[in-house]
C-alpha cells in the first residue's frame, strides 16, 4: 500500500504527509470520549435513516457524563430530519474509494470500524454519512457532532472528496455537499457547496501529489498533530514528550525512546513511567488551573478549551415507589439488574459472599473472562531435590 490517507485526513495531509506513508505505524489507542460520542450519534442516525424508523442511540457506548448529551443531540436531529430530508431516498454510511489517478470511483462494502480493505495505490477511501440523488446530482451530508470548528463546505476537502467520489461512482456531473452541525440545542446548516468537474479535477491533482510526496516526507509538527493517528509514535511528538520528561527533571540513564531494545532499558522505562505519569497528572492540573484563571485557553483552530459544568440525572431506584412507577408505565424492561462480589459481601458479610459464590457456581450463574495483566511477581526458583 502506497499510502494510508482517507477523506477525513486530507486537511491534515495538506500540512504534513509523514503519517500518510504506506509504512507509517499508527499506535493502537482507546477511542477518546468525543470519538465514542461521535460514533454513537452517527450509528443512531444511520440506523434511523436506513430503517425509516427512529432508532435510539446506545447510551452504554458513551461515558455516563455524555449519555444525556447524546440523547438530547439525537432528539434535536430526529426532530429536524423529517423537515429536511425532502422526497429523496437517502442512504447512510456509504463507503467509497476514489482513484485520484484515473478519476474512477467504486462503492466499498460496509465494514466495522471503517476498515476499507484492500485498495489500489491511488484510491482514497471515505465514508459518506448520508447520500441521495435525483438523477442529475448527488447530495452528500456529513454529520458533525463534535465541538471543534469545521471548514466551510466550499473549501472542505473531505466533503470535496466525498462529493467527487460519489458523483464519479454514480456517473453524475456534480454533487451538492453539506455538513450539518448537530448540537444539543440547535442544528446548524451552513450553505452547501457544489463539486463540479473543475473543483473535482483540482482536488484530484492535489491528492495525487500528496500521495506521491508521502514516501519521502518528513514530520511537519503543528496544531494539526492534535488528532493525528500517528502522534503517539511520530518522531516529532516523541521529542516533545522527551522535552516534557526533561522538564520533569527525571534523571535519565537510558535514552527515552519508543524503541525498547533490552531488559535494562525496559526496566528503566517502567520505573520512569510512574514519574512521567505523576508529572503529567500535575501538568494537567496546572493547565486546568490556568484555564480557570484566564477564562479558557485559545487553541489554534479558534476554539477555547475551558471548563463547563455537566449535570447528569439518573433514575434512583432505591427510592420507595420508583420501581413501581416504572412498572406502572410499562417500562419494567428498562431495568437492568447487576451486582458484584463486593456488593454481595457488603450485604451478607464474608459468609454470605461464600454462600453466594457456591450457590451461583452450582447453578452456572458465574461468568468468567480473561484479560491480560502485567505486574511484578517473584521469580519462582526450583528447590534442589
Residue window 181-220: x/- pattern of binding to ligand SF4, with contact defined by CB under 6 A: --------------------------------------xx
228 in contact with ligand SF4 (CB under 6 A)? yes
Cβ-based neighbours of 278, under 8 Å, separated by 6 or more: none
Mask: binding to ligand SF4, 41-60, rule CB under 6 A, as x and -?
--------------------
In whole angstroms, how close is the CB of 235 to ligand SF4 at the nearest point?
A: 7
- CA 123/CA 102 separation, integer angstroms: 9
Alpha carbons 200 and 195: distance in angstroms, whole number:
6
CA separation for the pair 41, 24 (Å, rounded): 30
Q: Which of 71, 237, 265, 303 binds ligand SF4 (CB under 6 A)?
A: 237
Distance CA 182, CA 189 (A): 9
Asked if 291 contacts 297 with a C-beta cutoff of 8 angstroms, the reply is yes
Handedness of CA 251, 255, 260, 264 (dihedral sign): negative
10 binds ligand SF4 (CB under 6 A): no
Query: Toward ligand SF4, which CB reaches closer, 9 or 192?
Result: 9
Rounded to an integer, what is the distance from CA 299 to the centroid of its chain? 20
Rounded CA-CA distance 267/244 in Å is: 20
Residue nearer to ligand SF4 on the CB measure, 22 or 315: 22
Q: Is residue 18 a contact residue for ligand SF4 (CB under 6 A)?
A: yes
| Residue 5 lies near ligand SF4 (rule: CB under 6 A) | no
> What is the C-alpha separation between 160 and 151, in angstroms, rounded?
11
| 303 binds ligand SF4, rule: CB under 6 A | no
d(CA 133, CA 139): 6
Does residue number 224 form part of the binding site for ligand SF4 (CB under 6 A)? yes
Query: According to CB under 6 A, which one of 36, 78, 236, 323 is a site residue for ligand SF4?
Result: 236
Residue 95 interacts with ligand SF4 (CB under 6 A)? no
Say whether residue 19 binds ligand SF4 (CB under 6 A). Answer: yes
| Closer Cβ to ligand SF4, 74 or 224, answer by number | 224
SS3 224: helix
CB of 155 to ligand SF4, least distance (A): 20
Residue 141 C-alpha cell reads as 451530508
Q: Which is nearer to ligand SF4, 32 or 312 (CB)?
A: 32
Residue 286 CB-density burial (10 A; 0-12 exposed, 13-18 middle, 19+ buried): exposed
* Binds ligand SF4 by CB under 6 A, chosen from 183, 190, 221, 296: 221
Taking the complex as a whole, the smallest distance from the CB of residue 246 to ligand SF4 amounts, in Å, to: 19
3-state secondary structure of 42: helix
Cβ count within 10 A of residue 347: 11
Work out which of 100, 177, 231, 272 binds ligand SF4, going by CB under 6 A.
Answer: 231
DSSP letter for 378, please.
P
Binding of residue 234 to ligand SF4 (CB under 6 A): yes
Smallest gap from Cβ 186 to ligand SF4, in A, equals 32
Question: Using CB under 6 A, which of 100, 230, 256, 356 touches ligand SF4?
Answer: 230
**Residue among 46, 119, 225, 276 that touches ligand SF4 (CB under 6 A):** 225
Residues in Cβ contact with 205 at an 8 Å cutoff, skipping those fewer than 6 apart: none
Report the first-to-last Cα separation within the chain, whole angstroms: 58
C-beta of 302: minimal distance to ligand SF4 in Å?
19
Residues 6+ apart with CB under 8 A from 46: 92, 93, 129
The verdict on 141 binding ligand SF4 (CB under 6 A) reads no
Q: Which residues bind ligand SF4 (CB under 6 A)?
A: 12, 16, 18-19, 219-221, 224-225, 228, 230-231, 234, 236-237
Amino acid at each position: 500500500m502506497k499510502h494510508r490517507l482517507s477523506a477525513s485526513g486530507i486537511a491534515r495531509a495538506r500540512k504534513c504527509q509523514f503519517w500518510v506513508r504506506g509504512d507509517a505505524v499508527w499506535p493502537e489507542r482507546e477511542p477518546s470520549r468525543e470519538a465514542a460520542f461521535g460514533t454513537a450519534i452517527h450509528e443512531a442516525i444511520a440506523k434511523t435513516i436506513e430503517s425509516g424508523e427512529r432508532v435510539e442511540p446506545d447510551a452504554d457506548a458513551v461515558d455516563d457524563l455524555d449519555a444525556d448529551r447524546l440523547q438530547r443531540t439525537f432528539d434535536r436531529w430526529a426532530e429536524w430530519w423529517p423537515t429536511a430530508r425532502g422526497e429523496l431516498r437517502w442512504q447512510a454510511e456509504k463507503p467509497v474509494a476514489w482513484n485520484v489517478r484515473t478519476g474512477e470511483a467504486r462503492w466499498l462494502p460496509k465494514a466495522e470500524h471503517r476498515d476499507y480493505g484492500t485498495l489500489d495505490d491511488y484510491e482514497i477511501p471515505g465514508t459518506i454519512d448520508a447520500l441521495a440523488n435525483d438523477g442529475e446530482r448527488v447530495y452528500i451530508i456529513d454529520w458533525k457532532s463534535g465541538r471543534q470548528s469545521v471548514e466551510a463546505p466550499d473549501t472542505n476537502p473531505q466533503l470535496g472528496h466525498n462529493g467527487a467520489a460519489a458523483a464519479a461512482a454514480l456517473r453524475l456531473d456534480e454533487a451538492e455537499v453539506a455538513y450539518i452541525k448537530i448540537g444539543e440545542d440547535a442544528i446548524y446548516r451552513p450553505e452547501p457547496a457544489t463539486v463540479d468537474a473543475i473543483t473535482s479535477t483540482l482536488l484530484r491533482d492535489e491528492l495525487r501529489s500528496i500521495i506521491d510526496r508521502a514516501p519521502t516526507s518528513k514530520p511537519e509538527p503543528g496544531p494539526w498533530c492534535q488528532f493525528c493517528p500517528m502522534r503517539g509514535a511520530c518522531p516529532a511528538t516523541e521529542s516533545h514528550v522527551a522535552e516534557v520528561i526533561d522538564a520533569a527533571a527525571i534523571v535519565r540513564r537510558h535514552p527515552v525512546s519508543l524503541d525498547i531494545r533490552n531488559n535494562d532499558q525496559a526496566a528503566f522505562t517502567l520505573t520512569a513511567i510512574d514519574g512521567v505519569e505523576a508529572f503529567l497528572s500535575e501538568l494537567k492540573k496546572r493547565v486546568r488551573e490556568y484555564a480557570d484563571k484566564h477564562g479558557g485557553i485559545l487553541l489554534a483552530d479558534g476554539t477555547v478549551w475551558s471548563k463547563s459544568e455537566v449535570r447528569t440525572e439518573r433514575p434512583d431506584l432505591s427510592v420507595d415507589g420508583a420501581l413501581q412507577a416504572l412498572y406502572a408505565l410499562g417500562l419494567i424492561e428498562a431495568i437492568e439488574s447487576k451486582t458484584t462480589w463486593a456488593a454481595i459481601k457488603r450485604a451478607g458479610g464474608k459468609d454470605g459472599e461464600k454462600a453466594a459464590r457456591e450457590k451461583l457456581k452450582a447453578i452456572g450463574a458465574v461468568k468468567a473472562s480473561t484479560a491480560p495483566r502485567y505486574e511484578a511477581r517473584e521469580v519462582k526458583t526450583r528447590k534442589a531435590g
